[in-house]
Chain A
Amino acid sequence: MYVAVKGGEAAIANAHRLLADRRRGDRSVPALRLDQIVEQLALGVDRVMSEGSLYDRKLAALAVVQARGDLIEAIFLLRAYRTTLPRFGYTNPVDTGAMQLERRVSATYKDLPGGQVLGPTFDYTHRLLDPQLAAGAEIEDPAQRPAEAEAMPRVSSILAHEGLIEADGDMPLDYVPGDITREPLQFPMARDIRLQALSRGDEGFLLALGYSTQRGYARNHPFVGEVRIGEVELELDVPELPFTVPLGSIRVTECQMVNQFKGSAKAPPQFTRGYGLVFGQSERKAMAMALCDRALRATELGEDVIAAAQDEEFVISHSDNVQATGFVEHLKLPHYVDFQAELDLVRRMRAEYQDRENQDKAEEKREAAE
């Protein structure tokens, strides 16, 4: 028998009304404006854009407010919005070598062309809470120094000249990049598709996996060849114009991880590489992505697959936090009928168990009496 149950409409409506009230909080405190979030919680906005896989600061800020600061909920909102829009096309690949740099550091070369440029970094801060910030202190303007018109080539192109490092990852000429927003995931997958999944993957998950490789689960001896943050130009080919159309620029973070490699049956000893590219300013995510990208190339490079970070199906199937939160959180939704069925089953099994017990006891008694 199946009995459909209805109810909870009023409770749901009131719960959402209560949510709106709690979201707004104390009415004597001014409401947040989106531009305040865009400007002052910029890295949270960047994370929502990166894992929401949609570059739009104002929308991400709205999502953050609507989600009361729950970033995974905000990411979910942005993903949902994304599905409502038509797609105009694929941009030309961005040229990160021509980036308007805001930060660029290398842990492998001290004196690389363009130098070490720290930019707005948390590095070298003392991680002490600043009470002056709480008191609303005036912030001084940044220092300025004339900029040299020096090109800042990617560090990978400097090393490449010596043949000590593998080339950028190439695909056959007629290869069309895969798109996980159009086709379901299939394993094994090509590196370009993995990179798309990693770029929108959960920062915490990728960070933990990257960390696991450092702790010995698929150790691959990484160095940060380079991290760079800045704006890149986007251009789109459209049929109505005889030239590529400029769209404006977006901020991205790129990480070139350089990994020691002893060589294998398939490849000579040389430095191999992992690559990270994410929306916004997020070098932790870009570095974690690069570590995972390198670990996931185990099969390609003839390494033994022995650890979680090298297992493509494990990593890519669990890296999306919208999917993960959907499946975990659905457990709290009504499962009354499912559970009722299980309850019946357990009752029946217990009754059978009891019957068997009773029978056994009766038999024992009879044997003892005989």
Chain B
Amino acid sequence: MRGQEAREQAERKGIMATLAHAPADEIARLWNGSGLPSEAELLRGPETGLVTVRGRIGGGGAPFNVGEATATRATVRVPSGQVGHSYALGRDKGKARLAAIADALWQDPAYRETIESKLVAPLRAALDAAREKRRVETAATKVDFFTMVRGED
């Protein structure tokens, strides 16, 4: 049971991460094509605020405050009763609302599969592709050193 719960939490967190990274217009476009309902009662927000970004001294030492970043959050209740939350960098309130609804609907077994296949999977594929493109472009700038041997022995 504990393992099951931990797995569920990891999945839910993974979906929240995908939604936080994804562009707002992509989420809206996929949502419109998914047939997912978008009515929900707003319990909080969507509201924009700040998070203070922390780093560590020397990279791995004690925490220190680097600066702020804008973030937007929302909490909703869908008609079937589940409460969903969203947090993401930036100021897009429409995205925050849809992401919170997605979190709520994902907790409803009737919608979980649709959320995963129609919304999260394509977003994740696009994010992975973009990340991979950046990785291979960066890798092309890696230095190959050649040893120069001089003289004869």
Contact = CB atoms under 8 A, between A and B. Distances in A.
Task: Check if A and B associate.
Answer: yes
Given A94-B55, A116-B143, A117-B141, 13 more contacts: A56-B70, A88-B87, A110-B145, A243-B12, A246-B17, A247-B69, A247-B71, A247-B87, A247-B88, A250-B53, A256-B59, A275-B57, A278-B66
Contacts, number: 233
Given A56-B69, A59-B70, A247-B71, A169 B57 contact: yes
Contacts of B88: 247-248
B97 to A, nearest CB: 16
B62 A90 contact: no
Contacts of A142: 137, 140
Contacts of B21: 248-249
Interface of A: 49-50, 53-56, 58-59, 82, 85-94, 96-97, 100-103, 110-111, 115-120, 142-148, 154, 156-157, 167-171, 175, 177-181, 191-193, 195-196, 199-200, 233-234, 236, 238, 240-250, 252, 254, 256, 273, 275, 277-279
Contacts of B68: 53-55, 82, 87, 181
A102 B141 CA distance: 9
A144 B137 contact: yes
Interface in B121-151: 131, 133-143, 145
A143 B138 CA distance: 9
B52 interface: yes
A58 B70 CA distance: 11
Interface stretch (B25-33, B34-42, B43-51, B111-119): B43-51
Candidate in A167, A193, A196 with the most chain B CB atoms within 10 angstroms:
A196
B77 interface: no
Nearest to A144: B136
